[in-house]
Amino acid sequence: MAFLSIHTVMMLGSLSLAWGLRYGWQPTDESWQIRWQKSLVCFALPPLLVIMTAISVLSMGDEGQMIGVQAGRLSYAIALLFLLYSIFRVVQLAWIGWQSLQRLQKLVVNTDCCSTAAIENSNPQESMRLLNIPMLFAAQIGFWRSQLFVSQGLLEQLDAPHLEAVLLHERAHAHYRDTFWFFWLGCLRQIMPWLPNTQVLWEELLLLREVRADRWAAQHLDGLLLAESLLAMVSSNMQPIETFAATFGSTNTSDRLEERIDFLLAEPEPFPQFSWRSLFWIGFALLPLAALPLHS
Torsion from C-alpha of 271, 45, 282, 16, nearest 10 degrees: 140
**Under 8 Å CB-to-CB from 221, ≥6 apart: which residues?**
161, 164, 165, 168
8 Å CB contact between 286 and 56:
no
**In which order are the strands placed within the sheet that holds 147-151?**
108-109, 128-131, 147-151, 138-141, 245-247
Percent of the chain with pLDDT over 70: 75
What is the β-pairing status of strands 128-131 and 147-151? parallel
Distance CA 26, CA 179 (A): 26
Distances (CA, A) of 184 to 91, 94, 144, 151, 219: 11, 10, 11, 27, 28
Of these ranges, 26-40, 162-176, 234-248, 274-288, the one predicted with the greatest mean pLDDT is 162-176
Q: Considering only CA atoms, which of 59, 42, 56 is closest in space to residue 9? A: 56
Task: For 140-150, write each residue's pLDDT tens digit.
Answer: 888 888 888 88
**What is the pTM for the complete model shown?**
0.84
Taking only the tens place, the pLDDT of each residue in 185-218 is: 999 999 999 999 999 999 899 988 888 888 888 8
DSSP H/E element including 66: strand 65-66
**Residue 135 neighbours by CB distance under 10 Å:** 15
Each residue of 50-82: pLDDT tens digit?
A: 999 999 888 877 665 555 555 567 778 888 999
**C-beta atoms surrounding 170 within 10 Å:** 28
pLDDT given for residue 10 in this prediction: 79
The Cα 249–Cα 227 span in angstroms is: 11
At 141, is the secondary structure helix, strand, or coil?
A: strand
Three-state DSSP class for residue 246: strand
How far is the C-alpha of 233 from the C-alpha of 146, rounded, in Å?
Answer: 20
CA atoms of 232 and 135, how far apart (whole Å)? 11
pLDDT in tens, 223-264: 888 888 888 887 665 566 666 677 766 665 566 778 888 888
Helix 160-175 × helix 223-234 angle, to 10°: 90
Distance CA 250, CA 160 (A): 22
Q: Which of the pair, 229 or 48, is modelled with greater confidence?
A: 48
Rounded Cα distance between 280 and 286, Å, is 10
Residue 255: enclosing H or E segment and its boundaries?
helix 254-265
CA dist 195 and 65 (Å) reads: 31
